[in-house]
A and B are shown apart, each in its own frame.
Chain A
Amino acid sequence: MTRYVLRAASLAVALGIWQLLTSLNIDLWLRFSQFPTVADVARAFADRLSGPDYWTDLTDSLTRILTGFLLAAVLGVATGVLVARSRLAEDLLGPVLEVVRPIPAIALVPVAILLFPSNEQGIVFITFTAAFFPVLVSTRHAVRALTPVWEEAVLTMGGGRWRILGSVVLPGALPGIFGGLSVGIGVSWICVISAEMISGQYGVGYRTWQDYTVVNYAGVFVGMVTIGVLGWLTSTAVEVLGRRLTRWLPRTSYVPAGRTPRRVSRAAAAVPASPTPQEDVPHDQLV
């Protein structure tokens, strides 16, 4: 509970400093006099929320990023597994992938414009490319790092290639895959917003850039806050899903203990020796 209070306080202090600097028109080396105040932004936000465009922008951006990201997740995992498990696939795909990988997805805008009949598909393509490589690389690493005895055990039970894929490779690589997905969703946002700024119609990035060109600075900040919140929500969704699917990972009991649990354990220690004190601690952590 205290942790949430601390987190809320951290946000509140940041907003407070912003409001202070802008409302006092502080002009030292950094010039806050041109900056909209928090109150300005809040007012602009309220106006936006009541108009129809805001929600269209929101759903457009979300549709683009989800389409691109889901495609990247599926194809990234599939390609990563293929490249990690098959020498032929590695030889055939590896060089192309390694050459394309360092190109920033946003630099593919001209390619997208040439390739795709509509801007919409181009934006999805750029978002896809952005997320594809982090997912691919972390999947490849995770699959190569799998303990060989897991596979050998399933082989000696008579399991075939698909059984090993479904029962060993995918579940075993899942923690690593989700590392790539977390990175991927972040990069996807960067690229969807940039692509919208360059070539979009509707979308949060498009709107933010429009506001900038018509000198509506409060509107620019509304856009930025929106991007921030959406990005945070989607990364949290990926992380929560990842944690649910990898619940089997042995977690060390002492790391997340923080402040509150310590107080709890002191209270528990006050109770005279409980009958089964270490029942829930995994054996390997008792040593």
Chain B
Amino acid sequence: MTSSSDARSPSRTGAALALHGATLGRPGAPVLDGVDLEVAPGEILTVVGPSGCGKSTLLRTLSGLLSPLAGEAGQDGRPLTGPAADRALIFQEDALLPWRTLRANVELPLAIKGLPRAERRRQAEAWLERVGLAEQSRHLPHRVSGGQRQRAQLARALAGAPRAVLMDEPFGALDAQTRAGMQDLLVEVLHGTGATVVFVTHDVDEALFLGDRVALIGSGHLTAVRDVPRPRDRTAHDDPARVALRREVLTSLGT
């Protein structure tokens, strides 16, 4: 499967997540070609691009659900061998199990790790409280709002203590106000977990607010990776560095 030269082997890098010379897509239908990407431990990398450009394919490859068609994908210097609890994936669509209460959903990764019932119940409750769902922990997913479901998904992903969290337009279906609240919550909840995050979005402002760096995808390639000025600020619209970056990202999206 992996046939690349040893000089570019992921084991030689200090990256939390890495793609080297990778061709991504389903067998017979490559979407992205020649992808070289390294995500530093603990960083938030946002990925933007027009729809259908292969953002989701990139995430699925990093999660291990898809294997690269060529090149290598690795985590912490080891090649990926399939999906694992080390890399949680948060979906745009509702991926909570509808027959489980929010708490039972959050307990699932803990149960897979083999934690005893009382302990996983305690941890699940704690995570739900951190995302503001303490009241709803016994509700079934269809009883709560779309924003609350996404918060529960976030809690479920983080409960498994993954070293990387991969997010596929998780707030794409939410209204603007809920979305801003979710972005703040995400930054707050991630703080202290040390988790590396790859966050796919088609929203430029979201990408620039959340990302330490932003990766641009277009016409079948990863076109650029840029540093984002810090600290996080939604209102600093007159900062020339931010304005220039925003313009570049918008241009790459073809808008």
* A binding-site residues for B, Cβ under 8 Å: 149-150, 152-159, 163, 167-168, 171-172, 174, 246, 248-250, 282-284
B163 within 8 Å of A by Cβ? no
B20 within 8 Å of A by Cβ? no
The reply to whether A156 and B65 contact each other, CB–CB distance below 8 Å, is yes
The reply to whether B83 and A248 contact each other, CB–CB distance below 8 Å, is no
Contacting residue for B160 out of A149, A157, A250, CB 8 A: A157
Residues in chain B near residue A167, CB distance under 8 A: 97, 108
B247 within 8 Å of A by Cβ? no
- Give B55-95 interface residues, CB cut-off 8 Å to A: 63-65, 83-89, 91, 93-95
The reply to whether A248 and B95 contact each other, CB–CB distance below 8 Å, is no
The 6 residue pairs across chains A and B that have the minimum distance between CB atoms? A158-B85, A248-B99, A157-B109, A156-B89, A250-B142, A155-B83
B29 within 8 Å of A by Cβ? no
Pick from A153, A168, A248, A282 the residue with the most CB of B within 10 Å.
Answer: A153
Q: Known contacts being A157-B112, A282-B143, is A150 close to B97, with CB within 8 Å?
A: yes
A-B CB contacts (within 8 Å), total count: 73
Q: Known contacts being A149-B91, A283-B144, A283-B145, is A155 close to B65, with CB within 8 Å?
A: yes
Residues in chain A near residue B93, CB distance under 8 A: 149
The reply to whether B112 and A159 contact each other, CB–CB distance below 8 Å, is yes
The reply to whether A150 and B95 contact each other, CB–CB distance below 8 Å, is yes
Rounded to whole angstroms, the CA-CA distance of A158 and B85 in the bound complex is: 4
Can you identify 25 A-B contacts, CB atoms within 8 angstroms? A150-B95, A150-B97, A152-B65, A152-B89, A153-B91, A153-B95, A155-B65, A156-B65, A156-B85, A156-B166, A157-B88, A157-B108, A157-B109, A157-B112, A158-B84, A158-B85, A168-B97, A172-B97, A248-B140, A250-B140, A250-B142, A282-B142, A282-B143, A283-B146, A284-B142
Residues in chain B near residue A156, CB distance under 8 A: 63-65, 83-85, 87-89, 166
B178 to chain A, nearest CB (A): 12
B113 within 8 Å of A by Cβ? yes
Residues in chain A near residue B160, CB distance under 8 A: 157-158
B102 to chain A, nearest CB (A): 12
The reply to whether B108 and A152 contact each other, CB–CB distance below 8 Å, is no
Report the nearest A residue to B105, measured CB to CB.
A153
Rounded to whole angstroms, the CA-CA distance of A152 and B64 in the bound complex is: 10
Rounded to whole angstroms, the CA-CA distance of A248 and B97 in the bound complex is: 10
Pick from B84, B99, B140, B146 the residue with the most CB of A within 10 Å.
Answer: B99
* B binding-site residues for A, Cβ under 8 Å: 63-65, 83-89, 91, 93-100, 108-109, 112-113, 140, 142-146, 156, 160, 166
Rounded to whole angstroms, the CA-CA distance of A159 and B95 in the bound complex is: 15
Residues in chain A near residue B112, CB distance under 8 A: 154, 157-159, 163
The reply to whether B109 and A158 contact each other, CB–CB distance below 8 Å, is yes
Residues in chain B near residue A150, CB distance under 8 A: 95, 97
B140 to chain A, nearest CB (A): 5
The reply to whether A171 and B97 contact each other, CB–CB distance below 8 Å, is yes
Residues in chain B near residue A149, CB distance under 8 A: 91, 93-95
Rounded to whole angstroms, the CA-CA distance of A149 and B89 in the bound complex is: 10
The reply to whether A158 and B113 contact each other, CB–CB distance below 8 Å, is yes
Residues in chain A near residue B146, CB distance under 8 A: 283
Residues in chain A near residue B95, CB distance under 8 A: 149-150, 152-153
List 14 additional A-B contacts (Cβ < 8 Å) besides A157-B88, A167-B97. Answer: A153-B95, A153-B96, A154-B112, A156-B65, A156-B83, A158-B85, A158-B113, A159-B108, A172-B97, A172-B99, A248-B99, A248-B140, A283-B143, A283-B145
Report the nearest B residue to A153, measured CB to CB.
B95
A258 to chain B, nearest CB (A): 23
B190 to chain A, nearest CB (A): 17
Rounded to whole angstroms, the CA-CA distance of A16 and B113 in the bound complex is: 65
Rounded to whole angstroms, the CA-CA distance of A275 and B215 in the bound complex is: 49
B152 to chain A, nearest CB (A): 12
Pick from A159, A174, A248, A250 the residue with the most CB of B within 10 Å.
Answer: A248
The reply to whether A171 and B88 contact each other, CB–CB distance below 8 Å, is no
Report the nearest A residue to B113, measured CB to CB.
A158
Report the nearest A residue to B147, measured CB to CB.
A283
Report the nearest B residue to A285, measured CB to CB.
B142
Rounded to whole angstroms, the CA-CA distance of A202 and B138 in the bound complex is: 51
Residues in chain B near residue A159, CB distance under 8 A: 108, 112
A18 to chain B, nearest CB (A): 45
Residues in chain B near residue A155, CB distance under 8 A: 65, 83
Rounded to whole angstroms, the CA-CA distance of A241 and B55 in the bound complex is: 44
